[in-house]
Structure 1
Amino acid sequence: MTDVSHPSSFAIDVPAALVDRARRGDAGAFEQLYRLFERPVFTLALRLTGDREEAQDLLQDTMLKLFDRVGEFRGDSPFWGWLRQIAVNDALMRLRRRGRLPQTEEAVDAELECHDVMLPAAAADAALLTRALGRMADATRSVLWLYHAEGYTHDEIAGLMGRTPSFSKSQLARGTRKLRELLKIEQELSHA
């Protein structure tokens, strides 16, 4: 993965001793790991699925997998990257099982005018951003989040989603246009 200017919320230094304690089954170590990663896992799951209940289920599933698989962590990469990969795989698998991942924004984009405008100042407002992301197709929202927030490359996203890098690039471009439009609409509604 390439370096990004905005590191993932998962980028938490985890002492090797804490991971070793978890490998030995230390309940306190698991509790510490849960507390460290509860928010990043939930946020990632929410952004990929667009559903709070589903995100909560994914948080629990990911943490159970951490408990079951911590012995598989080899230490050749940061612990946070290993756990993030479990969370991403779980979220995308859930979307695939529900038949939600293949959906794209092509039809919706045809209805939107394409404006080359800067993101409105309201984009910084988390509530507006959450609502706008919630109105996007799962595949598009997932590509946007994985690329911008988690720092995945188009090749990595393509591999995760079982698609091509051009699929990732097109979803990112379409999603960016749609996000600009949705944020503009949300901003206008909040000022009305």
Structure 2
Amino acid sequence: MRLSKLSPSQRAAGRWLVQLEDGTLLRVGENEVVSFALYSGKELTGEEVEAIRAAGRETAVKEKALSLLSARPMSRKELVDKLTARPRDREKEPLTDRAGAEAVADRLEELGYLDDGAYARTVVRHYSAKGYGRRRLQEELYRRGVPRDYWEEALAEAAPAENGVDAFLRKKLRPGDLENRKALKRVTDALARRGYRWDEIQEGLRRCGAELE
């Protein structure tokens, strides 16, 4: 089969359009143009066409993965889920299958672009700085698909519980609230939702001078 036209994409930088004489249109990257020595008028075998198509798909997946990671850090699971997600247009196929996404994730891990351990520490530092307790930090790590093997090392970087509890109480308690059972219950419930244990909350209230039963 003859390659009838080779032209750069007008929509995506670094992408090329390969038009075959039967009307088939392949989208490839610059690497494929070079590695397959593509040019207009070149004769291609069926095997070469399939190899170009597969290489173009792999390049598209890699570019999408790098685009996602440049937008924000994420776990391996988050990246694989996004790469294999079905588009909003249900008639279109996902960008790749699970095996293809896992292969790209493997390569990005080798290059250092994807690191679940570093990502876990980033998540813990971020939510700890916002005043959340250990349980909430664990929930965030679970929600983001971080393997449990990385949890303890990451959680060790969390700020001491008393820092978050005391800062929250200073912000939320008003004069007279220390004698108001409803007010104390309100801040206690709020701290529990933020991931603090009851004993951590109790100690914080005592540091503020609250009389607890």
| Structure of higher CA gyration radius | 2
What TM-score do you get using the length of structure 2 for normalisation?
0.27
More strand by share: 2
Q: Which has the higher contact order (CA 8 A, sep 6+)?
A: 1
What TM-score do you get using the length of structure 1 for normalisation?
0.29
